[in-house]
A and B are shown apart, each in its own frame.
Chain A
Amino acid sequence: MASTVMLRVLRPGLHTTVQDLGRYGLQHLGVVPCGAMDAVAHRLANALVGNAAEAATLECTVIGPELLFEEEALVALCGAEFEATLAGEAVPQNRPVLLGAGSRLRVGRALRGARGYLAVAGGIRVPNVLGSHSTYVPAAFGGFEGRSLRTGDVLTLDAAAPALAAARFARLKDVRRAAGFSSTAWRVSALTRPSERTLTLRAMEGRHYAQFDAASRRAFFDETWRVSQDSNRMGYRLAGPALARRGAGDLLSEPTCFGTVQAPGDGSVIVLMADHQTTGGYPKIAEVAGADLPTLSQVAPGGALRFARCSVDEARAALRALHAMIADIVRGIELQYGD
């Protein structure tokens, strides 16, 4: 058996979990999809270290972890802008970074955005549970022991990770070597980092939109919503105008999606996120465009949002455009690796 390579958790951060592209195919058994909230940042971080899209990354939330890499490792941090330091030196994001053996990477606090994705060449080794490495905390399965990281945890990296790190980094062009770590002179764009104070999300009218009164329908698209403190991977609760549904009969529980906006009738709305329940009985006033979900995932509690109406066709076109852009960026990274 090959010797194992360890990644030690010196400080866990606020809520750091192992995630991948999600757990699909079992929603008919109530199994929640999970996966990276910001799938774009997850994808780019993996590409930057030469991993496949499916490799597991660490999703860091608002306050990132402090990690000890026992061996040399090639890492990339994408998504939110973090303080990220190594022995007091700022560690650049959105590019491959070669860490020496014994490096203590402090991801630190998020300065802009809410979620960072730390990829390590070779991936983070956790058991495949029901087809995915993603952590589902409410039911305590997947990822690392079905929970967020704690101080003293020891994660396992690919046994070949140090060799992989050196070999892959050696193929890169335009590298900058420094004392504690090496990196590249180039980086990829932070596609999902919200830039404005009030984020505008494209949203389609939901299945029960017409059941809301005219004032509520207007208010949904006209008013500004604020992300509440009790927002998490399951859903974002938004505070804003009270919405009233006409003839408020109970609905049968029906399937929901990442991006479904429910209006339970208590004066708030809930945007269902990556850990969303597979079914629900609250009226669906809207569906957030898939292309805007990664950016929404970067909004921390207290952040402001507006919804801009779009059609299903426009949302699909936006999603296709986003996928095409990511494919271009990934191809560009592969060229840097000389592939």
Chain B
Amino acid sequence: MPGALPRQARVVEFLRPDLLHLKAHALVPLRANRKINIADGAADPAAAAGTGFSIFALGDSAVLAEFGTRLDLEVNARLQRLAEALRAKQVPWICDIVPALGSLALHVDQARAPAGLDPVVAAAKLLQECLHGGLRARRARTASIEVPVCYEAEYAPDLEEVAGQVKLSAAEVVRRHTGSEHRVLMMGFAPGQPYIGGLDADLAVPRRATPRTRVPAGSIAIANAQTAVYPFEISGGWNVIGRTPLRVFDVTREPAALFAPGMIVRFVAITRAEYEQWRAQ
């Protein structure tokens, strides 16, 4: 969809170096010129496959590299490995590296930025270095977690409605939610809140028309082909189908966040009694 292409986009590199030759002519010099337009992305096989990225200044203190405008689990997984590679470089002027669903941001620590630094140019160069160095394959032992969830009515106010929408029984919704392997696609919005992909395709429901003003901590909610776990009592528009007794974020614990990007997640159904027992511990 060319209309969705930001006009200040620049394609500077590809995640797969073997595709580099396909778009070599589009590689632009790493100058501070922010007005270079790229060709129709749909006509570019690398961009269409989600292997290229465009880079933008996100205001004067951050840079955003966009790898795709639609959710693609492969692209997302590469993004996380790229974030790890960047983190390993320990660049002093970068204070935050934030991988999201299809993009990654670098936040600049102004106090440590060298004089004359153009963060867009420097970030593009860093990303290129990481990609040329080759991203490590996903580690053999990826962190994984089993998340106990009570799907009983008291903790699952939207389960029946979701079941009605997807024309399955509530028990079948639970069976499918616990039956597939999920993966943390990104952390965001609130401290410790994961956006988890891998939802059974038959459980695709939209957000609720009216958000709930108070969703209890630990609520498991689905929408946008993903599962979210609410770390605190906050407002939220997703469909609540259960609740975990686990503490999603706890500053007194190391690490504070239960989830992390890339983590494999399996949901396990527990009874209300088990939930209460867990909470009492």
Contact = CB atoms under 8 A, between A and B. Distances in A.
A288 B7 CA distance: 19
A99 B132 CA distance: 60
B179 interface: no
B199 to A, nearest CB: 16
B248 to A, nearest CB: 10
Interface stretch (B21-29, B154-162, B168-176, B254-262): B254-262
A132 to B, nearest CB: 11
The 9 A-B residue pairs with the shortest CB-CB distance in the complex, in nearest-first order: A279-B188, A287-B59, A255-B105, A315-B60, A24-B95, A27-B96, A252-B101, A29-B257, A255-B98
Contacts of B85: none
A139 B233 CA distance: 8
Sort chain B's interface into a size bin: 35 or more
B188 A210 contact: no
A144 to B, nearest CB: 14
B4 A253 contact: no
Contact of A253 (B32, B188, B231, B251): B188
Contacts of A323: 110
A260 B102 contact: no
A137 to B, nearest CB: 11
A18 interface: no
B66 to A, nearest CB: 8
B222 interface: no
Given A24-B96, A211-B4, A319 B105 contact: no
Contact of B190 (A26, A32, A204, A246): A32
14 contacts: A24-B95, A25-B96, A28-B97, A30-B189, A31-B256, A33-B96, A138-B190, A207-B6, A207-B56, A247-B1, A255-B98, A288-B59, A291-B60, A319-B60
B275 interface: no
Interface in A251-290: 251-255, 257-260, 277-280, 284, 287-290
Q: Is the interface of B mostly helix, strand, loop or mixed?
A: loop
A185 to B, nearest CB: 32
A135 B261 CA distance: 25
A287 B231 contact: no
Interface string B105-128: 101011000000000100000000
Given A255-B62, A280-B189, A312-B120, 6 more contacts: A28-B98, A31-B256, A249-B1, A257-B105, A277-B190, A278-B98
B234 A138 contact: yes
Contacts of B62: 255, 257
A316 interface: yes
Contact of A319 (B97, B109, B110, B192): B110
Given A141-B251, A290-B110, A255 B257 contact: no
Given A129-B251, A255-B64, A313-B32, A247 B98 contact: no
A27 B62 CA distance: 13
Contacts of A277: 188-190
Contacts of A220: none
Given A25-B96, A255-B103, A30 B59 contact: no
A140 B251 CA distance: 10
Interface string B75-94: 00000000100000000000
B61 interface: yes
A136 interface: yes
A246 B47 CA distance: 23
Contacts of B96: 24-28, 33
A139 B231 contact: yes
B186 interface: yes
Contacts of A129: 251
Interface in B205-230: none
A323 to B, nearest CB: 7
Interface string A77-95: 0000000000000000000
B82 to A, nearest CB: 12
B148 interface: no
B69 interface: yes
Interface in B228-270: 231-232, 234, 249, 251, 255-257, 260-261
A150 interface: no
B64 A29 contact: no
Nearest to B193: A30
B20 interface: no
Contacts of A130: 251, 256
Contacts of A15: none
B232 A138 contact: yes
Contacts of B97: 28
B84 to A, nearest CB: 10
B195 interface: yes
B57 A312 contact: yes
Contacts of B251: 129-130, 141-142
Interface in B1-30: 1, 3-4, 6-7
B103 A204 contact: no
A247 B192 CA distance: 33
A233 to B, nearest CB: 14
Nearest to A250: B224
B100 A208 contact: no
B60 A289 contact: yes
